[in-house]
Amino acid sequence: MKKIRIGLIGAGGMGRAHTIAYKNLTNFFGNEIVPELVVVADVNEAAAAKMAETFGYQRSTGDWMSVVTDPEIDLIDITTPNASHCPIAIEAAKNGKNVYCEKPLAMDAEEARNATAVTDEAGIITAVGFNYLCNPIQVYVRDLIASGALGKVVDFRGTFDQDYYNEPDQKHEWRMFKSASASGALGDLASHTISLSQFLVGDVDEVCGMTSIVVPERPDPKDPSKMLPVENDDDVHFMMRYKNGAIGTIMSNRLASGRKLSLTYEIQLTNGSIVYTQERQNEVQIYRHDDDKKQRGFKTVYAVPGHGDFDKFYPAGAGFGMSYSDLKVIEVHNALSAAAENKPYEIDFHFATKIMEIIDAVLESAETRSWVKVGKE
Ligand SMILES: NC(=O)c1ccc[n+]([C@@H]2O[C@H](COP(=O)([O-])OP(=O)(O)OC[C@H]3O[C@@H](n4cnc5c(N)ncnc54)[C@H](O)[C@@H]3O)[C@@H](O)[C@H]2O)c1
């Protein structure tokens, strides 16, 4: 048994989701790696204290610096708003701590590259919260594409639409300020779609995008009679050309009526196609062009033991639905195993920097109304 002592920074929604995953880890993966909930920090000290009390962290604090310098911590888990991800990660790395950070990694690609250089130099393990890649069905899809059974990828069409900002009385929040979040739907939602595109199809060479702010101001949560500006994209569309010759589009709207967790993709290949929606995360639709003509049609493949870590949850077979929380358990397992074995995790700061490079290129493209190359020349 290996204990990993956790310092969590950020006691909001994602802090809660990560903590639930820590608490569930040994239930599904056994006690080879056991997280110890040592300390939780939040600028809102009362929120940190409440989380410590609810979930059994030994201590709480309002000072994250005391957590990254704490000799009793092995891994710093960052679940704060985007602007503080890299500053905290860099201090953690300088203190020799492994880092597990929520997406998007950084405010821009330069900040991501800098944080990656510091964490590489420190020789620590990093992991980033692109939890949808932990879905066993995505491991199946990646293997299916790699097998060549459906031919070569021709195009990827992805979305991430939600309607959580479409309520008329929706108040302003940090995600709408450039200083706290950088981009809007692009970094918050589409970063997940980009992570799937990266995981399943590969590197993007150039992009052409446009963004739109649909509701330009929102009521101040502290005083709803005052309005605050919405500074970043509510809606984003962009086209991509991959390095392997495939093409693609991604669209994301945080005011998309009726769309709840509409993280979707359709991948067209030369000999078939693959259709997925996160609203039905335990299955994927596969069309095989070389099926007998009289039998052709999309067929549903369910997640089963043999796909990724599905067997850890339901060894009996298909049809038992895994949930969002289960994906976080797999992610926590991946991050903590990498830290315990001192082996890099695929979804690390290098991977997340590629996502930031695409986000930067889309924003530049929208600004300049032109195609933009991805990454540093
Ligand atoms: N992977 C996913 O599916 C997913 C889902 C939602 C959010 N996220 C990401 O998680 C991060 C947090 O989002 P959230 O929804 O939990 O936000 P949230 O507003 O619910 O929580 C953020 C918490 O961080 C605290 N905080 C702010 N600045 C801080 C600082 N400098 N030091 C310490 N604490 C600080 C706030 O007081 C708050 O409690 C974001 O980067 C977001 O993009 C990821």
What CATH number does the domain containing 86 carry?
A: 3.40.50.720
Q: Does any domain span residue 358? A: no
Structure tokens that stand for 373 in this block: 């190359």
From 131, 166, 200, the end of a domain falls on 131
- 193 and 207 belong to one structural domain: yes
Same domain, 168 and 269: yes
**Cβ of 43 below 6 Å from ligand 1:** yes
Q: What is residue 28's predicted lDDT score, i.e. its pLDDT?
A: 98
147's enclosing H/E stretch is helix 136-147
pLDDT band at 317 (very low <50, low <70, confident <90, very high): confident
Residue 153 C-alpha from the chain's centroid: 23
Phi/psi of residue 346, nearest 5 degrees: -55, -40
d(CA 259, CA 111): 32
Specify if 283 maps to a domain: yes
For ligand 1, say whether the CB of 180 is within 6 Å of any of its atoms.
no
Q: What is the pLDDT of residue 16?
A: 98
Same structural domain, 86 and 184: no
Question: What integer best gives the mean pLDDT of the chain?
Answer: 97
* CB-ligand 1 contact for 12 (6 Å cutoff): yes
- State the residue for tokens 């130099």: 121
Decide: 132 in ligand 1 pocket, CB within 6 A: no
The answer on 117 and 229 residing in a single domain is no
- Assign residue 191 the CATH number of its domain: 3.30.360.10
For residue 353, pLDDT beyond 70: yes
Instruction: Judge if the beta carbon of residue 11 lies within 6 A of ligand 1.
Output: yes
- Tell which of 107, 131, 155 closes a domain: 131
For range 352-360, the mean pLDDT: 98
Residue 160 belongs to domain spanning: 136-321
- Which of 55, 102, 196 has most ligand 1 atoms within 8 Å of its beta carbon, as the pocket-test mutant? 102
Q: What's the 269 CA to ligand 1 centre distance in angstroms?
A: 37
Q: What stretch of H or E contains 90?
A: helix 85-94
Half-sphere exposure of 156 (CA within 13 A, CB side): 30
State the first-to-last Cα distance of the chain, in angstroms, to the nearest integer: 46
Which residue in the block uniquely carries the two structure tokens 């150039």?
206
220 and 112 part of one domain: no
Q: How many CB atoms lie within 10 A of CB 78?
A: 27
Q: Which residue among 14, 84, 91, 252 is best mutated to probe the pocket of ligand 1, counting the most ligand atoms within 8 A of its Cβ?
A: 14
Indicate if 198 and 313 belong to the same structural domain.
yes
Are residues 55 and 117 both part of a single domain? yes
- Residue 377: pLDDT above 70? no
In a domain, 205, yes or no: yes
Residue nearest to atom 21 of ligand 1 (CA): 12
103 ligand 1 Cβ < 6 A:
yes
Look at residue 185 and tell me if it is in a domain.
yes
In this prediction, residue 211 carries a pLDDT of 98
Please tell me whether residues 185 and 78 are part of one structural domain: no
64 pocket-lining for ligand 1 (C-beta < 6 Å): yes
Residues 142 and 121 in one domain: no
Does 45 fall in a domain? Answer: yes
Span 160-177, average pLDDT: 93
Q: Which residues, including other chains, have CB under 8 Å from residue 2's CB and lie 6 or more apart?
A: 32, 33, 34, 340
C-beta 42 within 6 A of ligand 1: yes
Model pLDDT for residues 47-57, shown as the tens digit of each residue: 999 999 999 99
Q: Which protein residue has the closest C-alpha to ligand 1 atom 33?
A: 42
- Average pLDDT for 315-340: 95
The per-residue pLDDT for range 15-27, each reduced to its tens digit, is: 999 999 999 999 9
If asked whether residues 50 and 144 sit together in one domain, one would say no
Closest residue by Cα to atom 15, ligand 1, is: 13
Number of structural domains in the chain? 2
| 155: confidence class by pLDDT, cuts 50, 70, 90 | very high
pLDDT (tens digit per residue) in 244-296 = 999 999 999 999 999 999 999 999 999 999 999 999 999 999 999 999 999 99
Q: How far is CA 78 from CA 6, 12, 19, 281, 348, in A?
A: 11, 11, 12, 26, 14
Of ligand 1's atoms, which has the minimum distance to the CA of residue 173? 19
Distance CA 35, CA 1 (A): 10
Which ligand 1 atom is nearest residue 47's CA? 39
Cα of 130 from ligand 1 centre, angstroms: 14
Q: Which amino acid makes up residue 285?
A: Q
The answer to whether the CB of 183 is under 6 A from ligand 1 is no
Nearest atom (ligand 1) to Cα of 324: 3
Q: Give φ, ψ of 317 to 5 degrees.
A: 145, -165
DSSP type of residue 189: I
Task: Collapse the DSSP code of 353 into the 3-class scheme (helix H, G, I; strand E, B; otherwise coil) and give the result.
Answer: helix
Confirm or reject: Cβ of 135 under 6 Å from ligand 1: no
Ligand 1 atom closest to residue 85's alpha carbon, by position in its atom list: 41
Summarize the confidence of residues 77-105 as an average pLDDT.
98
Q: Is residue 350 part of a domain?
A: no
Q: With respect to residue 346, please indicate whether it lies within any of the assigned structural domains.
A: no
Q: In this predicted structure, what is the pLDDT of residue 20? A: 98
Residue 207 and residue 169 share a domain: yes
Q: Which of 233, 267, 262, 275 is nearest to 247 (CA)?
A: 267
Let me know if residue 357 belongs to a domain.
no
Long-range contacts of 168-174 (CB under 8 A, 24+ apart): 169/219, 170/215, 170/218, 171/218, 171/219, 171/220, 171/221, 171/224, 172/217, 172/218, 172/219, 172/220, 172/221, 172/227, 172/228, 172/230, 173/218, 173/221, 174/81
Compute the distance from residue 373 Cα to the ligand 1 centre, in Å. Answer: 30
**Å from CA of 292 to ligand 1 middle:** 50
* 112-148 pLDDT per residue, tens: 999 999 999 999 999 999 999 999 999 999 999 999 9
Does 213 lie in the same domain as 284? yes
The last residue of one of the domains, among 321, 337, 364, is: 321
